A and B are shown apart, each in its own frame.
Chain A
Amino acid sequence: MLKHAQFPLYALALALFAFAPELVSPYHLSLLGRFLAFAILALGLTLVWGYGGILSLGQGVFFGLGGYCLAMHLKLAALPPGEIPDFMQWSGLTQLPWFWAPFRNPYFALAALFLVPALLAAGLAWLVFHRRVGGVYFALITQALALALSTFVISQQPYTGGFNGLTDFSSFLGFTLTDPSTQRLLYWLTLAVLALAFAFCSWLVRSNFGKLLTAIRDGENRVRFLGYNPTPYKVAVFALGALLAGLAGALFTLHVGVISPALIGVVPSIEMIIWVAVGGRASLAGAVLGTLIVNFGKDWISSAMPDLWLIVMGLLFILVVTALPGGLTGLGASLRRPVPAFRFPFRFPERKPSSAPTVSIVAPEAEDLP
């Protein structure tokens, strides 16, 4: 499953993280908890982008959907019987909207936080990929989706809580969320989910599916002429990435006690790309590492100089795209042999011989056939 040589290292890291509640302050523990939730999303993005070559600039959408699915339940669970959420009352609603009602059931909410992001992602990916729309367009479509969803949530204040999002939760499945013991449990739960997701993803990338995914990234057209239809595999990995993002969003909502449109729009979605790019886009350990480093860095910089972060983020993005395409985990390789930062879209050999090892942000374009 995992490479044997690396196994002790991962076990050690897991043990260290498991003891974190004893080692760090409650403030840092709460940060670590939410960053570990982010790391679950980053694992999904590594599969989608690093292995599948599909750049998604809308991962915040799936994170948000997972978060909102759980938040709707938490909001309802915090109400006395018969009442509707405060923001609905302010907007003049007297009855709970029909699509809110099933979220009273925690198990419905749990199922929804997996299914809603995964199904939306699968539908979108299928629509785009089966028509062989290229990677750049897909990236733009996902970005448009992030913009559309965050704008929509803000505009539908009576139904979504608008700009402020959903907050003021009290308990989940009988656990009081503000309890320090619940906070610790939640931390361990997040760590356990991350560890499981990590093990699953490591298994997946070494399976035949992972090899095929890598092949599709290297040459989608070539793979077609080896007898494979790439579409279902691309759809599957994109849906899996969305599922992990939704799970991350739900855990994040439990940690922080709020989910709002500010967390799911275009800018957060681009930040997610940076977490993965910094760690090394095709490395699962790099995804976790990159997420922790970038987020602790962000916390540190923002508390010192709040305006600086956006600039640092932009510079980081440029740096990893141009100078360090392998990220931190690819640092050794980058130093050993210089890797050209950009790769021209894959052309069929007849028209243009392909060159040496190259990396691109977006998967090679599908060549259009007359």
Chain B
Amino acid sequence: MTAPLLEVRDLTVSFDGFKAIDGLSLSILPRSVRVLIGPNGAGKSTLLDTIIGRVRPAQGHIVFQGRDITRTPEYEIVQLGICRKFQAPGILDSLSVFENLALAARHHRPWWSFFRFGLEADLTERVEEILDLIHLRDKRDAPARSLAHGQKQWLEIGMVVASDADLLLLDEPAAGMSHAEVEQTAALVKRLSARHSLIVIDHDMTFVAQLDAPVSVLHMGRLLKEGSLDEVRSDPQVASVYLGRVEEDALGRA
């Protein structure tokens, strides 16, 4: 049995007493894709927030490659190999597409290398590859703020890839995209799984179906169900959660 890349152990996150994550455990294997779904407010984004150190849990641990990162500073977590795409594009408006990718790619370089120009040759090659991967070759030198919404999403995915992290967290990467773009994004995610592990959050079931990966359903900060998309879909509890008919006590038994 391979050791998990990421282990979330008995995690609880509370905001002023409200438990956004409630005793959640989860593990991610190397080079695998895990899809997280769940109704709005289920705690999906909060789980990612906690993994990357943006939110600190009240209880529980997050272990990455055997190392406890529950209290590690955010930038060190990235350097250890976890990088996240935010729900709405978090790109740097004033920099060009290339500069955004270059910034993400060279985070592990020593401080003195900041007093020179441009990107190191080895990284340039990678960044140029990523430009093709995210279909932004012809926007290479355009300011990031000038991109269309779907392109911004891709740029941020590209930045996460450029960071060369082992674990990529994608928060609703296909949101607001056209049908064709959703398909391209799904293909992109599948390609990435050859090199990285991914946790992907999304609502769009056609997108999730195209990923063809195990699905975890989150509800009120807890894991409701794990399995293939078909298994999860046919589960009556999951169905009722999505229809908003589940009662507190029904959850207690889950």
Contact A225 B45 (CB under 8 A): no
Answer whether residue A357 sits at the interface, using C-beta atoms and an 8 A cutoff: yes
**Number of CB contacts from chain A to chain B under 8 A:** 98
Contact B87 A229 (CB under 8 A): no
Answer whether residue B79 sits at the interface, using C-beta atoms and an 8 A cutoff: yes
In-complex Cβ contact of B99 among A211, A233, A356, A370 (8 A): A211
A350→B103 CA distance, assembly (Å): 22
Contact B94 A218 (CB under 8 A): yes
Interface centre among B15, B79, B102, B117 (most CB of A within 10 A): B117
Answer whether residue B242 sits at the interface, using C-beta atoms and an 8 A cutoff: no
Answer whether residue A209 sits at the interface, using C-beta atoms and an 8 A cutoff: yes
Contact A232 B111 (CB under 8 A): yes
Contact B95 A349 (CB under 8 A): no
Which residues on the A side are within 8 Å of B159 (C-beta)?
226
Which residues on the B side are within 8 Å of A211 (C-beta)?
95, 99, 102-103
In-complex Cβ contact of A214 among B15, B92, B102 (8 A): B92
Contact A207 B115 (CB under 8 A): yes
- Chain A proximity of B54: nearest CB distance (Å): 6
Contact B108 A227 (CB under 8 A): yes
Answer whether residue A224 sits at the interface, using C-beta atoms and an 8 A cutoff: yes
- Chain A proximity of B252: nearest CB distance (Å): 26
Answer whether residue A25 sits at the interface, using C-beta atoms and an 8 A cutoff: no
Contact A369 B117 (CB under 8 A): no
Which residues on the A side are within 8 Å of B84 (C-beta)?
225
Given contacts A224-B74, A226-B163, A228-B75, contact A357 B93 (CB under 8 A): yes
Answer whether residue B239 sits at the interface, using C-beta atoms and an 8 A cutoff: no
A206→B115 CA distance, assembly (Å): 9
Which residues on the B side are within 8 Å of A229 (C-beta)?
73, 75
A217→B54 CA distance, assembly (Å): 19
Contact A225 B54 (CB under 8 A): yes
Contact B103 A212 (CB under 8 A): yes
Which residues on the A side are within 8 Å of B103 (C-beta)?
211-212, 215, 223, 226
Given contacts A214-B95, A222-B90, A225-B83, contact A370 B114 (CB under 8 A): no
Nearest B residue to A222, CB-CB: B90
Q: A335-370: which residues lie under 8 A (CB-CB) from chain B?
A: 348-350, 353-354, 356-357, 369-370
Answer whether residue A6 sits at the interface, using C-beta atoms and an 8 A cutoff: no
Q: A213-253: which residues lie under 8 A (CB-CB) from chain B?
A: 214-215, 217-219, 222-229, 232-233
Interface size on A, residues (CB 8 A): 31
Contact A348 B90 (CB under 8 A): yes
Contact A353 B88 (CB under 8 A): yes
- Chain B proximity of A370: nearest CB distance (Å): 6
Contact A209 B117 (CB under 8 A): no
Answer whether residue B22 sits at the interface, using C-beta atoms and an 8 A cutoff: no
Answer whether residue B186 sits at the interface, using C-beta atoms and an 8 A cutoff: no
Answer whether residue B116 sits at the interface, using C-beta atoms and an 8 A cutoff: yes
- Chain A proximity of B32: nearest CB distance (Å): 22
A208→B108 CA distance, assembly (Å): 13
Contact B92 A215 (CB under 8 A): yes
A219→B163 CA distance, assembly (Å): 17
Which residues on the A side are within 8 Å of B134 (C-beta)?
none
Which residues on the B side are within 8 Å of A209 (C-beta)?
114-115
Which residues on the A side are within 8 Å of B28 (C-beta)?
none
Contact A225 B107 (CB under 8 A): no
A226→B118 CA distance, assembly (Å): 18
A328→B106 CA distance, assembly (Å): 35
Contact A206 B86 (CB under 8 A): no
- Chain B proximity of A76: nearest CB distance (Å): 38
Interface centre among B52, B55, B90, B171 (most CB of A within 10 A): B90
Q: Which residues of B contact A (CB under 8 A)?
A: 15, 45, 52, 54-56, 73-75, 78-79, 83-84, 86-95, 99, 102-104, 106-108, 111, 113-118, 145, 159, 163, 171
Top 6 A-B pairs, shortest CB-CB distance: A227-B107, A349-B88, A227-B78, A209-B114, A350-B87, A208-B114
